Each structure stands twice: as C-alpha cells, then as structure tokens.
Structure 1
C-alpha cells in the first residue's frame, strides 16, 4: 500500500489516501476516485494540464518511474523539466519533480502530490 497525500490551495486541507501499489492506476485515477480536484483535459498525456509536483515522503531512494514520451514533450514544453532532468531520469533513475498525473503510475512508496 502507498500513502498518497494531495496538497493544493484548491482544497481546505491536505488529503491522504491509500493506493494499492501495482494495480496500474494512474495518479489521476486515484485522485478522481477520491474526488480530488486535479485539473485535466485530455487524460492522454498530450495537453500537460494535469502536471503535478511529486515528492517522496520517506528516507528511501525514490523509485525510478520512467517518463513516458508524452510526459517528456508536454513537461519540457511547459518549462516544468529540463533536458538534464530527462537525462537523469533515463540514466540514473532519478525521477524529476514534475509529472503528468494521467501518466504517473502509483508505486509502493509514500508521496506528496502538489497541484
């Protein structure tokens, strides 16, 4: 199980939900299931409107979750990640802080999602 804490000025307080790791649900699907107001448009990774900042809430090394090609393009065009961060993600499994909620699969780690 993973604890996913959502934080946004659009909410009265932070909300922590449990997500089953490995069930292949995206972060956006977890938010929708729990009626949390992450903005989105296409749900396909092309528009970039569901960009969120993801932080790790443990002392463990973050699990390297590969960026999809759609994420690389959308986040780079939006100025959320750099070419260097993409290279770090690919070569060293160091995840960038910004991800697309519709592409990010929840893993077995506690995370903080800011939007």
Structure 2
C-alpha cells in the first residue's frame, strides 16, 4: 500500500492518505475521495489546471509511470516538460517532476504531491507541517 502526502495552501497542514495497490484511479480521484481540493477543470489532460509536483520519498528509483499523450502536450506547452525530461521519461522510464493529477496513476510507492491551489500554477515548495 502506498502513501500519498498532499501539500498545498488549501490545506491547514500536509495530509497523508493511503492508495490501494492495483487501483487504477487517478491522483485527482484519490484527492477528491479524501476531500483534498486540487484545482481542476477539464479532467481530461488538456487544460493543465491540475498541475502537481511529485516527489518520490522511498529513496529508490521511481517506478515507470508513463505519460499520456495529452499530458505530454499539455506539460510541454506549459513549459514543464522539456525535450530532455521527455527523453528521460520515454527512454529511461524516469518520470518528470511535474504531472497532471487527472492523468497520474498512483503506483505502489510513497510520494509527496505539492499543488498551488490555483489552476495550472506551479506549486511553491514549503516545509512539511
């Protein structure tokens, strides 16, 4: 079972929830299920409003988490996916730091998700509460 820690200005403190192994729901669905308000609009990977920063907490190589075609385009257009980061994701299975919550499927690993509280705005780093 994976843990997902959400951090954002709409939360009074960081919130950690469990993600069930084998569940194919998106990160956005997990957030909604746990009453965590990540901004979103289209829920289809086209608008970029659910931009999040993903940090892997286990200290091991992250599992391959493939980008959807829509996510590649949206992250690229928003300047969050460079050609180098895309190549690392596609060739070496190294996930980029920014993802779309509506496209990201949580795997069996512990992660920290940072979001800004504003649609499509890059999250500012803050210390854990």
TM-score category of the 2 structures, normalised to the smaller one: over 0.9
Correspondence for 1:20: 20
Q: How many residues align?
A: 115
Shift of 1:11: 1.1
Q: Secondary structure at the match of 2:91?
A: helix
Residue equivalent to 2:80:
80
d(CA) in 2 for partners of 1:48 and 1:83? 18
In the alignment, which residue of structure 2 is the partner of 1:69?
Answer: 69
**Which structure 1 residue ranges, 5 or more long, are not aligned?**
none
Task: Map 1:6-17 onto structure 2 (within 5 A).
Answer: 6-17=6-17
Q: What TM-score do the two structures reach when normalised by structure 2?
A: 0.87
Q: C-alpha deviations, 1:8-35, integer Å up to 9, x for none?
A: 1221100000010211010000000001
Alignment-derived partner of residue 49 in structure 1: 49
Q: Which residue is 2:111 aligned to?
A: 111
**Runs of 4+ in structure 1 displaced over 4 angstroms?**
none
Gaps of 5+ in 2: 116-129
Q: Output the CA distance in 1 between the equivalents of 2:103 and 2:111.
A: 15
Could you tell me how far apart the structure 1 residues matched to 2:5 and 2:23 are? 18
Distance 1:68 1:113 in 2: 19
